[in-house]
Structure 1
Amino acid sequence: MPAPLPDFLEDLGHGVYAIDTGFQRPRFDAAYLIVESGRAAFVDTGTNHAVPRLLAALDALGLARDAVDWVIPTHVHLDHAGGVGLLMDALPRARALVHPRGLRHMVDPKALWLGALAVYGDEEMQRSYGKLVPVPAERAEASHDGQVISLAGRPLLLIDAPGHARHHHVIWDQASRGWFTGDTFGLSYREFDVDGRPWALPTTTPVQFEPEPLKASLQRMLGFEPLRMYLTHYGAVGQSQAEVRQLAAELRDQIDDISALALSLRDAPDRHARLKAGLMARWQAALRDRGWSGTDAFAAEALAMDAELNAQGLAVWLDRPAR
């Protein structure tokens, strides 16, 4: 009888495993491990602090370090890619596959660090992320739209998926009929499930939120008739094409709604505070409407960071000259 998996490792079927990276709180930030015929690929890594768990996941599944062929961050925000360099140091045969707009930041992470520092501050950067480790240039390559890579004969398709960030790609796994979505399919926290039904919200964190490209990315993913979506925040959602389509429709409606909210507050002197309050009020109302039994206070605490970052991202979108 095989040994039970560690608490942070979840078998999702089809050779796909979710690893709770431990970032911020339980079941907030996932990395994924795809296993096929003894070979493996990581999709997203979490931060440097997650790397011991990622390596422990290999150990739990009986996989050697040199069984990993690919490390694929969906984009280079640090909760998705902060641990790529450190992880690569432990995986002698792995190659990093990065969106072309993000590749240079994995090879030389100084600008990435400074950009995140401006958002989070030095204390939070040290506490949550640790020192970024560069990926050797000879072990990193840029993806391209429509690229197919092979994991022991299992095809993984990458497509460009702007809207949350311009350096974002998503990965289609035909074997599971699922997308590894990073942040393109929004956030869905298990605390807010109702009778097994997930709720999702779009994420507009700084600095590249663009509503129309985001909706186009959602539509392109739906064209593959997915049965499930593997979200970094958090886990697999969708048990059928119908459920995935319903979640996508709700995300599109929310994107339009919060964009309209932002435009209505463009010149407000207290814009940031009103954006945060408007977002939180919408989320709390949506949860009540779904029959969620938790309190507004719990939702406010669990979603406080998202409200702060989404408000910042909406403000950047409002102030962008080309908008």
Structure 2
Amino acid sequence: MDFIEDLGHGLYAIDTGFQRPRFDAAYLVVENGRAAFIDTGTNHAVPRLLAALDRLGLAPDGVDWVIPTHVHLDHAGGVGLLMQSLPTARLLVHPRGLRHMVDPRALWDGALAVYGEQEMQRSYGELVPVPAERVEASRDGQVIELAGRPLLILDTPGHARHHHCIWDAQSRGCFTGDTFGLSYREFDTRQGPWILPTSTPVQFDPPALKASIARLLGLGPQSMYLTHYGRVGEVERLAALLLGQIDEMVALALALKDADERHERLKAGLAAIYLERLRAHGSMLAPERQLQLLAMDIELNAQGLAVWLDR
């Protein structure tokens, strides 16, 4: 399967190969021979990102910006290694994430506590620091120019406090990282795409996430460019699904705040929510396959809800 998808408007989705096909996307924005990467995937994705440039006839020194939506490793783990091959690019990162790009040791240690050493090496590889002089902190409302194409930076906490989204007025679309949830193509039906929120540890904040989603809707987007996975339309419908599920997840967590075996019960409750939602969405996949595809998200969402409860 080809790993580059032409979305029009000078936009390309690159399947980073993380975990499974069409699970984790990086985006390439091209304007008048200049380019920007939005999210990079992990170190293992870097050969694909450089191959995408080559296939599109772009030299590495044609990339002006690398912009992770936030510093979780499936979005930004490959930033340092990629920057080594892009001699003129600058890194634009949320101010709360900047120090982790310059010195990724704390980022590594935090992920290590969640995933363990073997999985870290298998999935991510050693993190490469970015020289401080090549890094710029973003500002809410900042507009950067890519060969005259404006990209608006919006502070969007809720999934993480170090999260910003990028609005592209030319395509009427927003690069949402994890703020606008996860929509896997395996769950598409005749009703269209399905979506779920992500409460990955450790900074899930339900009111902030709902406010960030509302802010993105206020732009009147025609499309959302999700890291997990790809471009989706039907933005109003998907936003309603997201907001409803955030409320369901919060209610589940509060009901289990002091429960015995809380983690396993949170996982079971999340699985029940998603199976019912997918049934209503008309998914023809067997429930066992649905749970297999969502296993990582159920585990991480349960962990994130627990951290939120304890905070």
TM (norm. structure 2) is 0.99
2:213 equivalent in structure 1? 218
2:238 equivalent in structure 1? 247
**Structure 2 counterpart of 1:164, one-letter code:** H
Worse-superposed segment, 283-292 or 197-206: 283-292
Tell me the distance in 2 between the aligned counterparts of 1:231 and 1:45: 13
2:232 equivalent in structure 1? 237
Tell me the distance in 1 between the aligned counterparts of 2:198 and 2:65: 26
Tell me the distance in 2 between the aligned counterparts of 1:251 and 1:261: 15
Conserved? CA contact 2:181–2:242, under 8 Å = yes
1:16 equivalent in structure 2? 11
Task: Verify: 1:69 aligned to 2:60, yes or no.
Answer: no
Q: Which secondary structure does the structure 1 equivalent of 2:8 belong to?
A: coil
2:98 equivalent in structure 1? 103
Query: Which string of whole-angstrom CA distances, capped at 9 and with x for unpartnered residues, describes residues 132-167 of structure 1?
Result: 000010000100000000000000000100000000
Task: Verify: 1:300 aligned to 2:291, yes or no.
Answer: yes
Conserved? CA contact 2:39–2:66, under 8 Å = yes
Written as runs of structure 1 = structure 2, the 5 A alignment for 1:42-61 is 42-61=37-56
Query: Identity over the aligned pairs, expressed in percent?
Result: 75
Tell me the distance in 2 between the aligned counterparts of 1:73 and 1:126: 21
Task: Verify: 1:39 aligned to 2:39, yes or no.
Answer: no
CA apart distance, 1:196: 6.6
Written as runs of structure 1 = structure 2, the 5 A alignment for 1:173-192 is 173-192=168-187
Task: Verify: 1:152 aligned to 2:143, yes or no.
Answer: no
CA apart distance, 1:78: 0.1
Worse-superposed segment, 210-219 or 245-254: 245-254
1:269 equivalent in structure 2? 260
Conserved? CA contact 2:191–2:282, under 8 Å = no
Tell me the distance in 2 between the aligned counterparts of 1:196 and 1:319: 37
2:75 equivalent in structure 1? 80
Task: Verify: 1:162 aligned to 2:157, yes or no.
Answer: yes
Tell me the distance in 2 between the aligned counterparts of 1:287 and 1:64: 43
Gaps of 5+ in 2: none
Q: Displaced runs of 4+ in structure 1, greater than 4 A?
A: none
1:143 equivalent in structure 2? 138
Tell me the distance in 1 between the aligned counterparts of 2:297 and 2:178: 12
1:289 equivalent in structure 2? 280
Q: Which secondary structure does the structure 2 equivalent of 1:229 belong to?
A: strand
CA apart distance, 1:290: 1.2
**Structure 2 counterpart of 1:94, one-letter code:** A
CA apart distance, 1:17: 0.3
Conserved? CA contact 2:158–2:209, under 8 Å = yes
Tell me the distance in 2 between the aligned counterparts of 1:288 and 1:206: 27
**Structure 1 counterpart of 2:29, one-letter code:** I
Query: Which string of whole-angstrom CA distances, capped at 9 and with x for unpartnered residues, describes residues 201-250 of structure 1?
Result: 00000000000000000000011100000000000000xxxx20111111
**Structure 2 counterpart of 1:98, one-letter code:** V
Which of 26, 39, 46 is residue 21 of structure 2 equivalent to? Answer: 26
Task: Verify: 1:313 aligned to 2:308, yes or no.
Answer: no
**Structure 1 counterpart of 2:160, one-letter code:** A
Q: Which secondary structure does the structure 2 equivalent of 1:12 belong to?
A: strand
1:3 equivalent in structure 2? none
Query: Which string of whole-angstrom CA distances, capped at 9 and with x for unpartnered residues, describes residues 259-314 of structure 1?
Result: 01000000001110011011111111111111111100000110000000000000
CA RMSD of aligned residues (A): 0.7
Q: Which secondary structure does the structure 2 equivalent of 1:172 belong to?
A: strand
Gaps of 5+ in 1: 1-5
TM (norm. structure 1) is 0.96
Tell me the distance in 2 between the aligned counterparts of 1:284 and 1:300: 8
